[in-house]
Amino acid sequence: MHYLLLFLIIIFSFSPVYSKDKDSLGTVRTKDFRYSLVTPKGWIADMQSGLEGGIPLIFLPKGKNWENSPVAFYSYVEPIDSAKPVILIINEDSRRMSMGIPKLSAKHLKMFALGNASVQVVHYISEEGKLFDAVAYIVQSPTLMVRYVFSAKTKEDFTKNLPLFEKSLQSYNFTAERE
């Protein structure tokens, strides 16, 4: 119980502000930093639907919403323990997801630098067709990670939209706020 309370305090201490800039950027701002991703062409940036669940930025195809969209890209900030390598976070995610989804495979596909961040992309695919996700673990600093997730309801939607997700990921831009 204490760990949950501590986690919630840390998450809410970021006090993020969300905006959609005129240049089709989905932007998340806190007192210490901001990051943005370009809204994919033909998509919208939804800055409201995920707030209750701690998801400040969601990209959806135009005409869809968080509940009915067959695909979504979403992003959120996560404080991390500087002593814990990202591979352990990925392994924990894989273990946690496989508990509810048997026959889940996690494929570590890419590792690269994006600005000053290190990025690892993992595809989580269920053989039973229950999960089609790509997760970019963007480690911005030893204590801060941004997750950028692509979730699809079908394999076809996953395959069709994966290049768009990868292009959107390349637009990631992080700025530390100076006082």
Q: Report the distance separating Cα 43 and Cα 99, nearest Å.
A: 32
Domain total in the chain: 1
pLDDT confidence of residue 178: 58
pTM: 0.83
How confident is the model over 82-101, as a mean pLDDT?
88
Looking at residue 19, its pLDDT comes to: 37
pLDDT at 177: 66
36-83: per-residue pLDDT in tens?
A: 999 999 999 998 999 999 999 999 999 999 999 999 999 999 899 988
Q: 36, 65, 70, 44: which is closest to 160 by C-alpha?
A: 70
Q: What is the per-residue pLDDT across 112-159, written as a single tens digit (0 to 9) for each?
A: 999 899 999 999 999 888 899 999 999 999 999 999 999 999 999 999
State CA 48 to chain mean position distance. Answer: 16
In terms of pLDDT, which residue wins out, 9 or 42?
42
Query: What's the pLDDT score for residue 136?
Result: 96
Please write the tens of the pLDDT for every residue from 14-33: 434 333 434 488 888 877 88
Tell me the mean pLDDT in the region 158-163.
96
Strand 25-29's sheet: what is its strand order?
17-21, 25-29, 33-38, 173-176
Burial pattern 111-150, b for ≥16 Cβ within 10 A else e, equals eeebeebebbbbbbbbeeeebbbbbbbbbbeeebbbbbbb
- Better-scored residue on pLDDT, 21 or 102: 102
Residue 56 domain boundaries: 2-176
| pLDDT band of 1, cuts 50, 70, 90 | very low
pLDDT score at 172 = 95
Q: What is the CATH number of the domain that holds 19?
A: 3.40.1000.10
